[in-house]
Structure 1
Amino acid sequence: MGSNSSTDDTPPRSTEDAARRKRMSRVAIASSVGTTIEWYDFFLYGTMAALVFSELFFTKLDSATGTIASLATFAAGFLARPIGGIAFGYFGDRMGRKASLIASLSLMGVSTFLIGIMPTYTSIGVLAPVLLSVLRLLQGFALGGEWAGAAALATEHADDRRRGFYGGWVQIGSSAGSVLATATVLLLTTVLDQESFLAWGWRVPFLFSAVLVVVGMFIRLKVEETPVFQQMQREGRTNRRIPLAAVLQRQWRTVLLVIGMHLANTTIAYLTGVFLLAYGTTHIGMESSTILLAKFTSGLLLMSLVSMPAAALGDRIGRRPVYLAGTIGLIVTAFPAFWLFDTGSFPLALLAILLLGLANVLMYQTQGAFFTEIFDPEVRCTGAALGVQVATVIGGGTAPIIATWLIGFGDGRSWPVAVYLIFIGLVSTVCTLLVKESRPVPTAQRPETLAKDTVAP
């Protein structure tokens, strides 16, 4: 009789497949949960900056000036993000993707918790906005290193045919963080009166972050280091050069193109996440709860129905076509979105946010794999973080302030903001066209063969 397969020392393929699926499930959860927590913290601050921080920490200023000052502290967090990207990128490229992610999550959690227990202006005077700004800078520093490390962790673990899909799990953390932050604030503003919310209710979401961080840390500690980084360690490739110096020498053009590509994505995110809340309540007369509900509903719909199919589509047709659909989508929908939002109607405001959000999702869900693949493995965390975080300073952190100024320039009308979005969309479209498709490139590709192929001729 023939030999029975059970006597073969080689594990059955079904067993190997099951083990691989279990490992990738753990990686996907670790990447998305950690990123969700960090973006929850970051978006939570932006929501509170638009709603209550002007009253709590800038008491001596008039309403309009206080709102701008509050949004300025929100923008201050972006100034620290490139620095955090360089610092945590160094650790991710030299010491491991996992170590970098654990450190960034810890710092974000501590900073957010301290905001929740911090005294306001009525208690300690001018020291309150100063301390608030310091903690916001620490938040930005932590977030600066989170994304690139999480994207590298997911895509370097994934099979080459599904890197886009698993990279999308990292990106969905941003949407989930925004939805969770919005839902938390919406719940509190619904069940509490304004006086209670200003007195203590605003602190609850920041304190709740401590629980989320503990859960995220537990999950991330169970994930193994990526095969790509382990290979680099065995070959002695992690100690050759300082990652920042190497990426600026070999792939500086790629960094510049990533900055331009990410401008559209980050501008949409913070216009819809922060500016529309202040603009809708101040200029259109909408209730904050109405705008929060529209943001929550649109975020939930896009996250559940569009996000992961968009990521998987990048594995089928390529990263660049999906990304271009997003940048061009922004150009096409900028004016219609504001026409709809300006009606003050909940259904039309929801549709407006959905239009902008769809363009955003097509770009953002592709970035996890796209921006990871176009950088050499030895400088991957540093290069991707540097490009993305510089773009957030230029486009994201300043977007609410620029848009607020443009509304004043337009005598309360929104058309200057729509023109601003179209200009940003054009910049990102051109930069995307200048980058070669990255889907065929293996994640472990050696730098001498990849660096010269990243930028399209």
Structure 2
Amino acid sequence: MPTTVARPASLKRVAAASFTGTALEWYDYYLFGTAAALVFNTAFFTDLDPLAGTLASFATFAIGFVARPLGAAVFGHVGDRYGRKRSLLITIVMMGAVTGAMGILPTYETIGLAAPALLIVLRFLQGIAMGGEWSGASALITEHSEQRNRGFYAMLPQLGNPVGILVGVGVFTLLTNIQSPESFQAWGWRVPFLLAVPFTIVALWIRTAIDESRHFAAEAGGAEAEVAERRIPLVQVFRAEKTRLLAGIGVAFLGIAGYYFSDTFLLNYGTRQLGIDISFLLNAGLVASVLNIPLFVLWGLYANRVGGTTIAVIGGIATVLFAYPMFVLVGQGSALAVAVAMVTGSTLVSISFAASGQILNELFPTATRQSGIGLAYNLAGAVSGFVPFIATVIIDTAGDARLWATAGLLVVIALITLGSTVAARRLRLPDLDATVD
């Protein structure tokens, strides 16, 4: 199997390629999550009452997460058999095309039931593309790095999260500030989706110049390559690495579910139930993203010294300790209190998320790495996609205990990640520590 071996000088290009793609991924997902909270319930689910429309929007939001494991399986196979680069070129084009199409999708008023049907199809395709995006980017940059700087470089795909969200929040905030609510609901929400197209072109241009990793090249050309060719990576993961897969799902859970808990769910609750101005809470998301960018870098650098598992444990414990104080703030009902809760929650869950890439890559061998980390990350995402839906149901039905019960959901998520991180430390493989010429 012909493969271009990575050169040391290519590390910066690989870092840029990994970062820009995942930034676009989170930009796209933030757009859909925010639009689901603010627009889609009236644009595509017009015949439903407000609560039912919101739940239908969040259910559509969750469909993308359900599709992600399928994308992880498909592109994990491509990445493990034919190269991380080939996988990443396909996912970035698919991601940009689908998100751009959402920006020109007619509403229910124009084409009736075909509108939500097409939205669901596009969301499913978006989920497939993104199911392969993070795993390819994470495997590629981690395999390029060395043990002494792995914590930082493995963090870069995660850094795409606050940067992508920052751009998404910035665009939404600008539009809601310069447009009337009527104009934003009518057409303004489409602009951020259309902007994904030029972003995609830039990311594609960067990716065409990257090299494959030495680890993948060695695996592809090694003595066992002929035997490996007859294996299906996905089957190998389920057959021989089930325990690692389960641990990986738990490791990724808090970082993904926590963001949609503190951002998407609280944004919807604050605007729908508490009547807080949309722009104010979008600005809170902007502040959280700005804070998380330097914090991600710091956690990545610290992971170089103490390891990713230690960082993830710190994040899990901090989330457990501060989950209930967060909802004490939410219970006050003021715009400032809810905004502080959103920023606090986003900052807390970012700790575990920043370290998750390193932990996941060290769980799986090179031959099945992209399939393994992709499945773990995206199966966690499939469950996480339902978190805003579940939290909305809890807070609308739990009566006087609604805030405590909703905070308890976040605590459970954090505890799952804590236990899984401890298990992952014991299952760590030395593959990435080996010197590859």
TM-score, normalising length from structure 2?
A: 0.94
Within the alignment, does 1:386 sit opposite 2:375 as a pair? yes
1:162 is matched with which residue: 140, 143, 149? 149
Distance in 1 (CA, whole Å) between partners of 2:249 and 2:151 is 20
Structure 1 unaligned segments of length 5 or more: list them.
1-18, 447-457
Partner in structure 2 of residue 415 of structure 1? 404
| Higher RCO (C-alpha 8 Å, min separation 6) | 2
5 Å-filtered alignment, 1:363-402, equals 363-394=352-383, 396-402=384-390
Q: Tell me the amino acid that sits aligned with residue 88 of structure 1.
A: F
In structure 2, the partner of 1:348 is 337
| Aligned pair partner of 1:404 in 385, 389, 392 | 392
2-structure distance, mates of 1:444, 1:232: 14
Following TM superposition, by how much is the alpha carbon of 1:358 offset from its aligned partner in structure 2, in angstroms? Answer: 2.6
Tell me how far 1:425 sits from its aligned partner: 1.5
In 1, the alpha carbon distance for the partners of 2:257 and 2:345 equals 10
Report the counterpart of residue 241 of structure 1 in structure 2. 231
Find the partner of 2:316 among 300, 313, 327: 327
Aligned to 2:253: 263
Q: In 2 relative to 1, CA 347–438 (structure 1 residues): closer, same or farther, beyond 3 Å? A: farther
Counterpart check, 1:117 vs 2:107: no
Q: More deviation in 67-76 or 256-265?
A: 256-265
Change (3 A) 1:39 1:86: same
Percent identity, please.
38
Distance change >3 Å, CA 359–CA 102, structure 1 → 2:
same
SS of structure 2 residue aligned to 1:50: helix
- 1:440 offset after TM fit, Å? 8.3
Amino acid of the structure 2 residue aligned with 1:415: W
Cα distance per residue 1:49-92 (max 9 Å; x no partner) = 10011111011111111111111110111110000000000001
Q: Report the 3-state secondary structure (helix = DSSP H, G, I; strand = E; otherwise coil) of the residue aligned with 1:80.
A: helix
SS of residue matched to 2:212: coil
Matches within 5 A, 1:14-413: 20=8, 22-235=9-222, 237=225, 239-303=229-293, 305-394=294-383, 396-411=384-399, 413=402
**What TM-score do you get using the length of structure 1 for normalisation?**
0.90
SS in 1 for 2:48: coil
AA partner of residue 354 (structure 2): Q
Count of aligned residue pairs for this structure pair: 425
Instruction: Name the CA distance, whole Å, in 2 between partners of 1:111 and 1:440.
Output: 37
Cα deviation code 1:147-197 (max 9, x no counterpart): 111011111111221111111111101111111111111110110111211
1:276-333 per-position Cα deviation (integer Å, ceiling 9, x unaligned): 1110012222111111100111111121x21011012111011211111111111111
Cα distance in 2, alignment partners of residues 33 and 211 from structure 1: 12
Cα separation, 2, equivalents of 1:444 and 1:241: 24
Q: Is the 8 A contact 1:263 1:391 kept in 2?
A: yes
SS in 2 for 1:60: coil
Change (3 A) 1:355 1:79: same
CA spacing shift, 1:438–1:30, aligned 2, 3 Å: farther
Q: 1:32·1:173 contact (CA, 8 Å) conserved in 2? A: yes
Q: Which amino acid aligns with 1:272?
A: S
